[in-house]
Amino acid sequence: MNDFFANLPDILTIDDLQAALRIGRSTAYKLIQDDQIPSFRIGKSIKVYKRSLVEYIEKALYNEGELIGSHSSEEDERL
């Protein structure tokens, strides 16, 4: 996982966040609005530190393995 993040800039834009998590714009803004991923503003632009993204993913992996858009093993069994 760390190799993937090595290619990301230290300060991410919303577009970077979307690409890294493979999520839509609304979901990216929701993560920020809900303070799941800490952010800051430069002018009108929202920015996210890369380490905040990494911490979010690590926390999600340790909290029952649930990331945004993931599904449970019960759903896997039904598929």
Tell me the pLDDT tens digit for each residue of 20-73: 999 999 999 999 999 999 999 999 999 999 999 999 998 888 876 555 555 544
Distance of CA 79 to the CA centre of its chain: 26
Q: How is domain 2-78 classified at the CATH fold level? A: Multidrug-efflux Transporter Regulator; Chain: A; Domain 2 (1.10.1660)
**Band of the pLDDT at 16, cuts 50, 70, 90?**
very high
- Sheet containing 40-42: give its strands across: 11-12, 45-49, 40-42
**Band of the pLDDT at 4, cuts 50, 70, 90?**
confident
Write down the pLDDT at residue 60: 85
